[in-house]
């Protein structure tokens, strides 16, 4: 029984956009170092599979869990330079009420968190374009359709290349990606290797 648990695939819960934009471009190096490793990635923790670890954003701390800080998960609005040059009056958060907000169904709460006390008025007055699949709001922002909210770490390349511009640097919401796992659960043999790889590569 213990041997079967040790040989089982790792099951890791991870935010979809973090998996797509941060982990996948780096994951080949993990398999190159550990060719026999088996990892199952879930983008929702609601499945029946036992979970070996979770990548979460600034999770609440539990005494029986352990936590590895991975990367910044700072939240800010972005838009294309083209949209910004054509936009009028984008000086403070409340100005977004007169603009187009691009939203993913999975990340609606991010707008509320970032807008803070301006959330109710801005979200009621702004024109919103909603997308079912996460990531489409970023494509729409790059195409100049409006402003979206995103974790800066997910769009560093787009910001460096000039495809996107980060707005309101004075209002960044500071959070972190954290790898968390039970301190008592017995885990598959490749868990330590995956944990160390995460800490070194993310």
Q: What angle do CA 53, 25, 144 make, to 5 degrees?
A: 110
Architecture label for domain 2-72+176-201:
3-Layer(aba) Sandwich (3.40)
Dist CA 54 CA 73 (whole Å): 15
The confidence score (pLDDT) of residue 3 equals: 47
* Closest to 10 measured CA to CA, from 20, 27, 176: 27
Dist CA 42 CA 178 (whole Å): 16
pTM above 0.75?
yes
Dist CA 122 CA 101 (whole Å): 10
What contacts 24+ positions apart, CB below 8 Å, involve 110-116? 110/75, 110/149, 110/150, 111/149, 113/75, 113/173, 114/75, 114/76, 114/77, 114/149, 114/171, 114/173
DSSP state letters, 52-117: SEEEEESPPP-TTEEEEEEEE--EEEEE-HHHHHH----SSGGGGGGSEEEEEGGGHHHHHHHHGG
Structure tokens at 141: 């922002």
Dist CA 106 CA 91 (whole Å): 27
Lateral strand order in the sheet of 127-131: 127-131, 100-104, 147-151, 75-79, 165-166
The confidence score (pLDDT) of residue 1 equals: 42
The confidence score (pLDDT) of residue 169 equals: 93
Domain with CATH 3.40.190.10 in the chain: 2-72+176-201, 75-171
CATH class of 75-171: alpha beta
Q: What is the mean pLDDT of each run of 10 residues along the chain (202 residues)?
A: 64 95 96 94 74 95 95 97 91 95 93 96 97 95 97 97 96 97 88 96 94
């Amino acid at each position: 029984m213990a041997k079967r648990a040790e040989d089982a695939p790792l099951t890791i819960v991870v935010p979809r956009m973090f998996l797509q934009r941060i982990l996948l471009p780096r994951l080949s190096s993990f398999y190159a170092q550990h060719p026999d490793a088996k990892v199952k990635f879930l983008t929702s923790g609601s499945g029946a599979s036992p979970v070996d670890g979770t990548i979460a954003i600034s999770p609440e701390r539990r005494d029986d869990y352990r936590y590895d800080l991975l990367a910044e998960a700072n939240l800010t609005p972005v838009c294309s330079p083209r949209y910004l040059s054509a936009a009028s009056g984008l000086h403070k958060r409340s100005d977004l009420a007169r603009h187009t907000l691009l939203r993913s169904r999975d990340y609606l709460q991010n707008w509320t968190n970032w807008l803070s006390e301006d959330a109710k008025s801005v979200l009621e007055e702004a024109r919103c374009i909603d997308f079912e699949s996460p990531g489409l709001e970023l494509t729409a922002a790059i195409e100049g359709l409006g402003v979206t909210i995103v974790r800066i770490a997910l769009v560093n390349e787009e910001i460096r290349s000039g495809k996107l511009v980060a707005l309101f640097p004075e209002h960044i919401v500071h959070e972190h990606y954290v790898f968390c796992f039970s301190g008592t659960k017995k885990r598959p043999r490749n868990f330590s290797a995956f944990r160390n790889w995460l800490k070194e590569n993310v």
